[in-house]
Amino acid sequence: MAAPSDVSVIFQLKKNASQKCYGSVQLMDKIGAKPRNPVLIVCNKETYTCRIWPRSELDERTIMIESSSVKSRASASSIVLLKPKPAKHLSIAVVIDQCSERDNLVHLVKQTLHNHVVTVHQTIICASVIANLHGVKQINIQAGTPSADALLVVKSTDISIASVVSLEKHRQMTKQNDISPLGGLKLQHHLLKDFIEINFNLSSAAFRNGIDLNRVCLIIGPSGCGKTSLVKQVAMETNAHLMVTSGNQILGSRPGESEGNLREMYAKAVSLSEEGPCVWFLDDIEGLASGKGSAEGRVSTQLAAILDELHGSKNGNLVVLAATNQPNTIDKIVRRRIDKEIAIGVPRLEDRLDALQLLTKQLSLSSQINLCSIAEATPGYLGADLKALIHHAVHNSLCRHNYEGSVIVEAEDLEAALHAIVPSTQRHSDITADFKPTFWKDIGGLDDVKNKIKQAVEWPLKMGEAFRRLGIPCPKGVLLYGPPGCAKTTLVRAAATSCHVTFLAVSCAQLYSPFVGDSEKKIAEVFQQARAGAPSILFLDEVDSLVGNRFQGNSKGGSSVQERVLSTLLNQMDGVGLRSDEAPQLKIKEGESVPASSQPQQDSISVDNSQVLVVAATNRPDMLDDALLRPGRFDRLIYVPPPDQKARVEILKIHRRRTPMSEDVDVEAIALQLDGFTGADIENICREAALLALTVDGIGATEVNQSHFDRVLKEAQPSLSTQQLLSYSQIKSQSS
């Protein structure tokens, strides 16, 4: 007989909770139960098998269950009286502490379950003193005979243990459903899963044939790219236990403590591997194996000894994975013992789209949202940045609806989130990425220059496979030169927008410093930031003031800051970088004496600039050093001339779309009067004509007419002279 379904269930916290529950006499009469009869209670999709006892203070719609953990009040869907049969055989799985003794485990379990009523697939939390003393935490009933709704464990019951699982591994198995799928890491996921499965599945055959398998893998990538999530995902898919170790668990204050902690962690990993496949994950390994000080050097030596021991063992169930965002800081004695390295870079366009589709899978998106456009607008964003972007958009939607009703993410929510979320690769730096999109249609004229820039900038970034197939080296640098105000910066920004890559614009004021070595360090940081956000375009505006010609200066002995900055820039473009994480120890101003012991020391390292294109602009190309202009550095030199008649007409039409003009405005006639004017001059003329319309016609003016342009043109003067244009023509003929 079953009780009503509206019975309230409360849980009584008890340290040594037994298989007991309590109900009123009226409730017991309804289900036909007597004191100590077993009942089955279904509550919150969980089942509780316990013996019921009367309690006078409870009403007929309340039942109390003893529990060793805190649980909130719930409602029982059913309470059924059980009629158990004596169990002949039980097959169980036991969850124990890592340090528990496994001898006589069957006898201990039999004592714990004696006189218990159990059901198949039931989980019993062990709270008795004997069970806790021997580390038995949980017993799972997998099968039993005879077939019945409930079985009673008696002295004659035969118990067999099907599996013994450590408490740590059991907890991880129960949390695996919380791991969200990854997006944009298909290649790295395949490589890492293949690495782990070869060790777990082929280790026995490899050992028989005397083959040493790769046992240690290093995952390299910037913070927030998904290294830890990738390891968790692959460990779950390969059914391996994941043991995560970080620096704060290892490093100690006393001599020898860190090495002892590291050795204990390795012993724990070996013990877990005896139960089945185990992955020992060393997160942020650079904190353990930097080898910079004496203590860190001892830890590095101990870790190298452990890796040697692992390589020499026949334990095929243990794999060591490590992650870092600073691979060059890892001690050499540790890094040479790493068998495989997997790099995770900045997600490409298709990777970002894949990640966005997964992140928005459970969300209600407006029909106006195009995830492809969002992916194109997020160059340089890592997985963590994309997740933060979606969360911020959801928060914006909640704020608009005052946290009520269903949440539908609109395009304006994502637009606001794009302005609020800065990519991880561009944070903590004085150099900020330029996210303002500019399109080719916004630039009037200059068709020949646009085609040249597309070939020099867009083609290598968009069609890299075609370049490699034909053996064409991608250009490392492009120099735009021409009069000021002719849209050199705007052209580069349009190319970056078209390529969907990170665009970094750097001015000379951000790079110069009065301290020795500081300017070189900033140059290295800029290139490091560009590589972190690759594929990227690094734009150096007014490069002539940053790195001039060494033979036109007044410095002697090559000691000027401009020469040192030029040398650093040349090295960075050639792929020989300086470690920007090591700053000078002393701040010494230019011209002051520098002690020999205080000279800034920076190690040269090999860097990859294949996904970084350096674009520079100048209006004084004759001031640049010849070493900078040779092929292999600035491969393409593109002259950006002032607009001709056709270009001036197109520029005026572009401004006509923004500024309302009357029908009497003749852009052809206006363009004829603007010979020698740059694009910036034409924009200024349109602005002055609009201001004049407000002045003459009052604040209620709605459009600009021809008379306004005529008055402005009478006072306007071109920025360029015939002599300046002649000098640029001579430079163009010399460079070609």
- Separation between Cα atoms, residue 530 and residue 502, nearest integer Å: 8
Q: What is the pLDDT of residue 594?
A: 42
Could you tell me the residue ranges of all domains in the chain?
7-82, 86-174, 179-343, 349-420, 429-548+607-642, 645-719
CATH number for 349-420: choose from 3.40.50.720, 3.40.366.10, 1.10.238.10, 1.10.8.60.
1.10.8.60
- Average pLDDT of the chain is 81
Architecture in CATH for domain 645-719: Orthogonal Bundle (1.10)
pLDDT in tens, 137-196: 888 888 998 988 889 999 899 998 888 877 777 777 666 555 566 777 888 999 999 999
Handedness of CA 95, 97, 99, 103 (dihedral sign): negative
Residue-wise pLDDT for 525-542, tens only, equals 888 878 777 778 888 888
Confidence band (pLDDT; 50, 70, 90) for 578?
Answer: very low
Q: What would the mean pLDDT of 349-361 be, rounded to a whole number?
A: 88
Mean pLDDT throughout 469-494? Answer: 85
| pLDDT, position 736 | 62
Percent of the chain surpassing pLDDT 70: 87
- pLDDT-derived band at 322 (thresholds 50, 70, 90) equals very high
The model's confidence at residue 435, banded by pLDDT at 50, 70 and 90, is low
Mean pLDDT for 565-583 is 67
* pLDDT for res 612: 84
CATH H-level, domain 179-343: superfamily: P-loop containing nucleotide triphosphate hydrolases (3.40.50.300)
SS (H, E, C) 638-689: EECCCCCHHHHHHHHHHHHHHCCECCCCCHHHHHHCCCCCCHHHHHHHHHHH
Please tell me the CATH code under which domain 86-174 is placed. Answer: 3.10.330.10
Instruction: Check pLDDT > 80 for residue 9.
Output: yes
Q: Are strands 477-481 and 612-618 parallel, antiparallel or unpaired?
A: parallel
Q: Is the pLDDT of residue 553 over 70?
A: no
Which pLDDT value is given to residue 663?
A: 86
Task: Output the pLDDT for position 585.
Answer: 38
d(CA 191, CA 185): 10
Give residue for tokens 């430079």: 731
pTM for this structure?
Answer: 0.67
The stretch 432-439 carries a mean pLDDT of: 66
Domains 179-343 and 349-420 share a fold: no
pLDDT at 309 > cutoff 60: yes
pLDDT of 127 reads 67
What mean pLDDT comes out for the span 456-463? 80
Does position 98 have pLDDT exceeding 90, yes or no?
no
Averaged pLDDT for residues 30-59: 88
pLDDT reading at 598 higher than 70: no
Identify the pLDDT of residue 253: 80
Closest CA to 497 of 417, 427, 440: 440
Q: How far from the centroid of its chain's Cα atoms is residue 734's Cα? A: 48
CATH of domain 429-548+607-642: 3.40.50.300
Q: Which residue has the tokens 């909770």?
A: 17
Pick the CATH number of 7-82 from 2.40.40.20, 3.40.50.12280, 3.40.50.970, 3.50.50.60: 2.40.40.20
Look at residue 675 and tell me whether its pLDDT is greater than 90: no
Across the range 34-45, mean pLDDT stands at 87
